[in-house]
Every structure is written in structure tokens, then in C-alpha cells.
Structure 1
Amino acid sequence: MASRRMAHDVAIVAMGCTPFRDHWHCSAGDLLVDAVQECVGSLPGVTLDDIDAFWVGTQGSGLSGQTLARPLRLVGKPVTRVENYCATGSESLRNAAFAVASGAYDMVMATGVEKLKDSSYSGLAAVYPPADGTDVDWTAPAGFSLLAPAYQQTYGVSARDMRSALTKVAVKNHANGALNERAQFRKAVSADTVEKSPRVAGQLGVLDCSGVSDGAAAAILVRAEDAYRYTDKPVFLRGMGFVAGSGSGLATDGYDFTTFPEVVEAARQAYDQAGVTDPASEISLAEVHDCFTPTEVVLMEDLGFSERGKAWRDVLDGRYDLGSALPVNTDGGLKSFGHPIGATGLRMVFECFTQLRGEAGARQVPDARLALAQNLGGQPGSCVAFVAVLGSRR
């Protein structure tokens, strides 16, 4: 399948990101204004008038491009609203990047937002259209909880070792989040606390699951050849892949819940475009979709960071800790930020952007050159997946 480099290389020259938490006093529009103001405010001399087109990603916090146009008081600008499950923020970035690469626009903005805390429902309150009755009716924790026992059975991992690996993911990401002022949960947790947290589904306890939060993020993109007109530290989009699964994993007997095939293919596309042949050694840091702790374990293999059946061991050995050869979720991930659907994918890119510019403070990865952002939505066996490789050099 063809997945070619874009006609023009693309650079991110500015980003903004609100804290992710309970924003009871803010609307979705307020959060978008905050993220956009931080983004635009970091580029001297640039105003909203200089931006040719806008994208806004949200699952349920607004309809049409007016979700962004109204709070920003945009006049005469094209604004497109996009949605793609939990990869909605990534979809906003992807479409904005294509618009610049095509030559249609010189400067564009990608935004994402979600307000999940203003209802009586704690979680994702999406309303799905009628289907043919064959959809699996389960909660997200229930679906993703199947990854752990499937992985154990396939690779002969003991229950104790698997539990220790899941616990290590939670402990690691919360420790990273404690260093990040934008994170919702800024307290490190012990292994004992994780393992004694109330059960939600299968082996998953409360601290194996991402939280519920509000947030927004924004990015300004231009063609790579124009990037240094705006900043001396642009971040270049080196490769990008996106796959929408057919759902066949839940419709046949062949799917074993130890992989996300959509992620594998999206990563292949991104790596091919970026010229990455050994991601385990070439990627400096990665932001991945740790919606649940077993998801991160499986993703380490799907992204080529660990050999099949070995990720649990690499996690326990500290391969993905801050200060290691390949730190994962340096900002705290979904575990520390929660998951406002439309903003998460851009929040991941924001951390890559911050790290590649050397601005991450106490969690800074030394000499970071290539970063990966991986975002997925849906459920095991039927998901959408986005992977981007970003670099500090063109």
C-alpha cells in the first residue's frame, strides 16, 4: 500500500496546551481560547489574521467549525471540525498538515478540545448511531482488560509478572506526571497503591485506567522552508501514518488481543516516510496511548520498541523510564492527564514539541532528536490508529 511523503515538508512552529483537569469554570470555547492564545502568543508579530485555515477536533463538545470560530470571533476563515474516536486531536493535526503540504495554505492551525466534566456521567458520553446489532456491547475497561490475560497466555507470562509490568507502567507514568504542571494528577503513586486500587474490569483497577478530564491544545503549522521565519526552534513532521480498522478483529476468530494491527500499519507508514529502520534505537522518546496499562505494554511491541513477548520484561527492567534509552510518556501520559478526547492527540504532540525544543525542564530527555506520538481510538480488534515521527532537524 502506498504511503508517500507529502509534496512539501511541514513544520510545527508554535503550540499551546491548557492544563488537563476539572475545568468547572470554563466552557469548551474558553479552553480553546486559552490554548490558541498561548500558541499564537509564542510567535511575535503573528495574529489570528495571519492564519489561513483552521481545524478543530472534538468528539462531543461542539458541532461544525463554529465550535472554534465563535469563541475566537473568526471572520472570513475556513474552519473544519473533525472527529475520529480518541484519535480526534491527531486527525485535526493530520488534516492541517496535508493542507499546508498541498500548497493550498501558507499557515494553518490545528486545535482540539473536549469537556467531559459537565454532565452527570463520569466518562465518555458519546451517542452512537444505530448499528446492525453485531457490535460488541462492552465498556472500554472491559474491552482493554482482555489484553492482559491474552498476552499472558500467548507468551507464557505468569500472573505475578504481568501484574508487576502493569503496575510499573502506572507507577512510571504517574511519576512523570508529578513533574508536569499541566497534568491532572501530579502525585507519584506506589506499586502497593496501584495494586490495591478498586477493581474496574478483569485485572484492571482504578489506577490502571486513564482519568476523565477537560482540556484543549493547539498547533500552528507551516511549510518547512518557511519555518525559520517564525522560530529558531521549529519541529519537523518527518512521517505520519493513519489507519481506520475494518473491525474484522471482532468479527472473526483470528484476533488474539495481543496486538493492534492498525497501529502496526500506521507505524510502518510513519517509519517509512521518516527513514526510521530501527525505532528501538533511533527514537529518542515516545508518547503513546496509555488509556489502560496493558495497552502501553502491547504498544511497545506494535511500535517495534520491544520484541514480541518481551515488552513486559523491558518494562520491568526500566527500559521506558525517564532517564533510560527510550523514555515513554515523559509528560505522564493519559494516566496523569486524563483523556479529553479531542485534545489528547495534540497533547501528545505538544510534549514531543516541548522535548525536541529542549524546554521540558525536569523531565527533559537529553539530546532528543526524534520523537514519536501514537494515538488510537475504538477498541481492541476494531480501532483507528495514528502514528507520527517528529524531529528537531529537517
Structure 2
Amino acid sequence: MSSHGIKDQVAIVGMGCTPFGEHWDKSAADLLVDSATEAFRSSGISKDAVDAYWLGTMASGFSGMLLSAALKTDFKPVTRVENFCATGSEAFRNACYAVASGAYDVAMAVGVEKLKDSGYSGLVRANPAHDGTNPTITGPARFSLLAPAYSEKYGVPKDELKDVMTRIAWKNHYNGARNPRAAFQTEVSTETIKASPKVAGDLGIFDCSGVSDGSAAAIIVRAEDAYQYTDKPLFVKALSFVASPGKGSLDSTYDYTSFEECVRSATDAYAQAGVSDPRKEIAMAEVHDCFTPTELVLMEDLGFSERGHGWKDVVNGAFDLTGDLPVNPDGGLKSFGHPIGASGLRMLFECWLQLRGEAPAGRQIDVGGRGYGLTQNLGGFPGECVSFVSIVGPEKG
């Protein structure tokens, strides 16, 4: 890829994240203000000191004025971005590059989405009539194809793979039960997960992420200025974003056991950050567990497991809170739901807490000698999606 990287050019000095859930009493503007206010407070930076804003939302606002009106900014530039489920990550990426370019000293990325009172679940989109882009099957149905494909390719019996998917859901709900910001804060037994009603293919209700409202925000400055605002900044090591040419569903060789987009973005991010062995160098990862087989496949796409061995690592607890490489220690999309514009920044917020040693008791991971946190977002469908990978760390260099 042609990326020149952004390693140690910018740093996060403040973050905020609302509780995710059913916020019937709050608007998108209210949630946006809540996360931004927490970010201002954590950094000591006032809204007037922010030079420019990037707002990520898919359908809760259609211009930057959603943010400028809510925060009452003084005619500051606000850019509204959208990129499927990676919308919050896209806001963060653009804010980082704006500061790295020298265009601004201080930038803010905010992601927000209100889904509960919209009546929608999944992607909120309105395609022009008969434009040829309406999918013929649902999102859960498309992602359900991952499970039988993986089972067949690697010789994992169907019932055994269902146990693996159940283990992923159980893990993420276990983590979410220890997170006061999660939408679902209850542990769920493996028996309940396996017995849940089917949604599509072998996907039961607990194999699918929920629907919620929420917002998260980050303040970005030049790396050399970071310690003016906090004694524990997070330095951005890598930002990689790729968009699929969209040929997966038309390609007879595509076998539904990998997201090529994720492989490409992860490879680029590792090159930027200088990571050669992600399983040993990454301390924790937040990944896009929209469905349990998605998380399984991503473990291999991100290089955390060898091809065909990810399911064994799941069963052995490698990705648990106390495992070799904790994955979704905050509970993931399974526990938070997926307010589209907010999820990518919510993932970064967990890195902010964990790498600074500020996660709640019972959920703080042992970082050890590993200094990196990773986030991964994807949006779209298997074989035709966008993928974002970021790597951040508490030390410069």
C-alpha cells in the first residue's frame, strides 16, 4: 500500500464516552454534548481552544451543524463524515491527519448515533428506489454464511463451531457485565446463548450485536504538545483505512472465511507501527464483533491466530480478559450495541482506559511489556466492506 504512516505525529489527550443504551430522554445533540464535555474535562482543553471538529454520524444529522449548534461553537469548521459502521473511526482518522498536516493545532472527533427512537436496527440507510444497491438478503443472513464456510474449510464440526460462537458471545457479555457504560451489563450463560431463537442460519439472538444510542469523543494534538495537557497521552502509531472494490459477492473464488479488507488494513497498520508479531506486541484489541463468527474470522485476519486455528484459541481462552491477548475487554458490540457513528471512538475509549491503567476494577488488563492497543472497524458485508485499523500506545518512539 502507499501509506506513509502517521506514527508518533499526533496524540490523544482527552476522551469521553457516554453510557450506551436506550436513551429515550436524550437527543443526539444531548449525547454529543455529554461525550464532548467529558473529553474537554479530561484534557483541560476548552471548546474554544479546539480549532476544528470532525463529526461522525450515519443518520442522526446531515451536516456539521448538529455539532456546532449543540456545543455552541464560535463559527468553527465542523466536517460531518460517514463511512458505514466505521463512521466514528473515519472522524478520528480525519481529525488526526488534519493535525499531522499542520492545518490545526487542536482537533476533536465526535461520533454519535440515535437508533432506538428511529425504529431502525443495523445500517440506517435510504437508497434511491430501484438504484440496484438494495441487498437481496439481510445483514445477519450475509454474515451467517461465515460459520458454515469456516466449518467446511477447516473441518470443524457444525456443533463444535456453534460452541465456539457461543464462547465468543459469553466472553463479551462477561466483560460487558463489568462495564458501567455498556448497554447490557449482565452475564449470559452458555446454555441461554445456545438456546436463543435463530435469526439467520446458525446465528441466534445472542450471536448478534444489539441496537443502542451513544456517543464518544477524542481530542487530538501534535505529539510534541501532548504533555501540556495530560501526563498520560496516547500516541497514534498507525491509522489505516481501505475500501473494497465490492466484488466479493460476484467472485466465485471468495469463500467467506476472511475479510480481505481487514487483512489489507491490518497489514498496512502493522507496517506503520513497526509491529512484526501482533499476538505478542498488542496488549489488547477492540474488534468489530457485529456477529460472533465475525470476531472469529477477524482473529485470523488480524494475525492473532494462525489460519484455521482461531477457533482453538477462542476455546482455550486466549482472548479472555486474563488471556494472552484480551479482545473486546469492554464487552464489544455484543454488550454495547452498535450506534453506528459512535462505535469506532468507543473502541478507542477502551484503549484510553486500559493503556492508562484506568479501567474499572475487575476489568483492567495486565498490559505487561506490550505497549499497543488496537481497534478494528468494518462496515458493509463479507466480500464488500470498508475496514479501519488503528494502533495507539502510551509511549512515544
TM range (shorter): over 0.9
User: Which residue of 2 is the match for residue 16 of structure 1?
Assistant: 16
Distance 2:129 2:273 in 1: 40
Deviation at 1:6, TM superposition (A): 2.9
Q: Is the 8 A contact 2:92 2:345 kept in 1?
A: yes
Query: Which of 157-166 and 21-30 deviates more?
Result: 157-166
User: Which residue of 2 is the match for residue 29 of structure 1?
Assistant: 29
1:303-346, Cα deviation, whole Å (9 max, x unpaired): 00000011011100100001111000000000000000000000
User: Which residue of 2 is the match for residue 389 of structure 1?
Assistant: 391
Deviation at 1:135, TM superposition (A): 5.5
User: Which residue of 2 is the match for residue 148 of structure 1?
Assistant: 147
Query: Which of 282-291 and 354-363 deviates more?
Result: 354-363
Change (3 A) 1:134 1:83: closer
Distance 1:365 1:8 in 2: 24
User: Which residue of 2 is the match for residue 2 of structure 1?
Assistant: 2
1:371 to 361, 370, 373: 373
1:29-58, Cα deviation, whole Å (9 max, x unpaired): 0000000011101123x2101000000000
- Deviating 4+ runs (over 4 angstroms): none
Distance 1:322 1:243 in 2: 29
User: Which residue of 2 is the match for residue 283 of structure 1?
Assistant: 282
Q: Map residues 13-162 of structure 1 onto 2, 5 A cutoff.
A: 13-44=13-44, 46-130=45-129, 132-133=131-132, 136-162=135-161
1:12-40, Cα deviation, whole Å (9 max, x unpaired): 00000000000000000000000001110
Residue 193 of structure 2 is aligned to residue 191 of structure 1: no
- State the secondary structure of the residue aligned to 2:118: coil
The code of the aligned residue for 2:23 comes to H
Q: Is the 8 A contact 1:7 1:101 kept in 2?
A: no
Deviation at 1:138, TM superposition (A): 1.5
Deviation at 1:125, TM superposition (A): 3.4
Distance 1:61 1:21 in 2: 16
User: Which residue of 1 is the match for residue 272 of structure 2?
Assistant: 273
Distance 2:130 2:153 in 1: 32
Distance 1:124 1:267 in 2: 24
Change (3 A) 1:122 1:6: closer
User: Which residue of 2 is the match for residue 345 of structure 1?
Assistant: 344
The code of the aligned residue for 2:252 comes to D
- State the secondary structure of the residue aligned to 1:186: coil
Deviation at 1:122, TM superposition (A): 4.4
Deviation at 1:133, TM superposition (A): 2.6
Residue 167 of structure 2 is aligned to residue 165 of structure 1: no
Deviation at 1:124, TM superposition (A): 3.7
1:342-388, Cα deviation, whole Å (9 max, x unpaired): 00000000001111111012211123621100000000010000001
Deviation at 1:137, TM superposition (A): 1.6
Distance 2:117 2:238 in 1: 37
Deviation at 1:67, TM superposition (A): 1.4
User: Which residue of 2 is the match for residue 298 of structure 1?
Assistant: 297
User: Which residue of 2 is the match for residue 217 of structure 1?
Assistant: 216
1:94-146, Cα deviation, whole Å (9 max, x unpaired): 00000000010000000000000113444443212356536642211111000
User: Which residue of 1 is the match for residue 382 of structure 2?
Assistant: 380
Distance 1:365 1:120 in 2: 37
Provide structure 1 residue ranges, at least 5 long, that are not aligned to the other structure. Answer: none
Q: Is the 8 A contact 2:127 2:134 kept in 1?
A: no
**TM-score normalized by the length of structure 2:** 0.97
User: Which residue of 2 is the match for residue 242 of structure 1?
Assistant: 241
Change (3 A) 1:121 1:374: closer
- State the secondary structure of the residue aligned to 1:221: strand
Length, aligned pairs only: 393
- State the secondary structure of the residue aligned to 1:42: helix
Give identity over the alignment, percent. Answer: 60
Distance 1:91 1:18 in 2: 19
Distance 1:101 1:303 in 2: 26
- State the secondary structure of the residue aligned to 1:341: coil
**TM-score normalized by the length of structure 1:** 0.98
Distance 2:332 2:8 in 1: 31
Q: Is the 8 A contact 1:116 1:124 kept in 2?
A: no
Provide structure 2 residue ranges, at least 5 long, that are not aligned to the other structure. Answer: none
Q: Is the 8 A contact 1:165 1:315 kept in 2?
A: yes
Q: Is the 8 A contact 1:58 1:343 kept in 2?
A: yes
Distance 1:103 1:8 in 2: 14
The code of the aligned residue for 1:256 comes to D
